[in-house]
Amino acid sequence: MGFKHILLDPVDAGIMCLTINRPKVLNALNKATLEEINQAIDQLEVDNNTRLLLITGAGEKAFVAGADIEEMSQLSALEAKAFSAFGLSVLRRLENASFPVIGLVNGFALGGGCELAMSCDLILASDNAKFGQPEINLGITPGFGGSQRLTRLVGRPMALELLYTGRIFGVEEALGFGLINYVYPQAQLMEKGLEMSREIVSKSRSSIQLIKQLVQRGQDLPLDNACIMESDQFGLSFSSPDQAEGMAAFLEKRAPHFN
């Protein structure tokens, strides 16, 4: 499938990389770009070879500097609501994808860019990365889930401070907030992302899918209900050939060879 605003390329066995490719506007998200991300998810979900997706931005300045303000400035209230709903649905698809998603934040991740990063399972950032939800400065609210994901990731008081002030913060604060996993020099970001990706794809595919479902679906449930769901998934994991191989390998003191 040909794309105009994104790149979708294999980078290693089972590992795909989606690059937001609008560097002249710092990879801002317009409706066409969101549509292409949605189409890419469609493609990856039916490709049985896809084990993991990396997401990054073209160039050295930005992951995604935000939603496309020039396009948004022309929207009516109803059009803005539809744009928000579509963006929310695309990012939710990433969260619910059947494969892990790692964000490689290589510069500005503001507004819609921060929201895109937060929809990834893990975030690795370059040392020049900047984060923020500065929608307050435009007289609007976050529209792609920023108020909700930020609160869940960093806690209510800090989320409200960041949303009220719209301030931009760097990787040291992001690490302290628990927003990101690791920071690397920009030149090493892709290499480190691939290193982590290779480790993940070497594990049991079925177990990773079940773990992702447990975390995504269980985080907002009462603890007792979430634990019941975990028990169900634990039992289900025993129907996989990976369980037999993993336990046999442990008992035979060898590395497992998962399908």
Q: Which CATH architecture has domain 6-201?
A: Alpha-Beta Complex (3.90)
The per-residue pLDDT for 122 is: 98
The catalytic position among 36, 95, 135, 195 is 135
The per-residue pLDDT for 206 is: 95
Q: Which residues of the chain have pLDDT under 70?
A: 1
The catalytic position among 115, 161, 172, 173 is 115
Cβ–Cβ < 8 Å for 103, 171 = no
Total-model pTM: 0.96
Instruction: Report the alpha-carbon distance of residue 18 to residue 8 in Å, rounded.
Output: 5
Could you please state the CATH topology (level 3) that the domain comprising 205-251 is classified under. Lyase 2-enoyl-coa Hydratase; Chain  A, domain 2 (1.10.12)
The per-residue pLDDT for 259 is: 82
Instruction: Report the alpha-carbon distance of residue 32 to residue 48 in Å, rounded.
Output: 26
The per-residue pLDDT for 127 is: 98
Instruction: Report the alpha-carbon distance of residue 214 to residue 212 in Å, rounded.
Output: 5
| Domain ranges within the chain, ordered by starting residue | 6-201, 205-251
The per-residue pLDDT for 1 is: 63
115 is catalytic: yes
135 is catalytic: yes
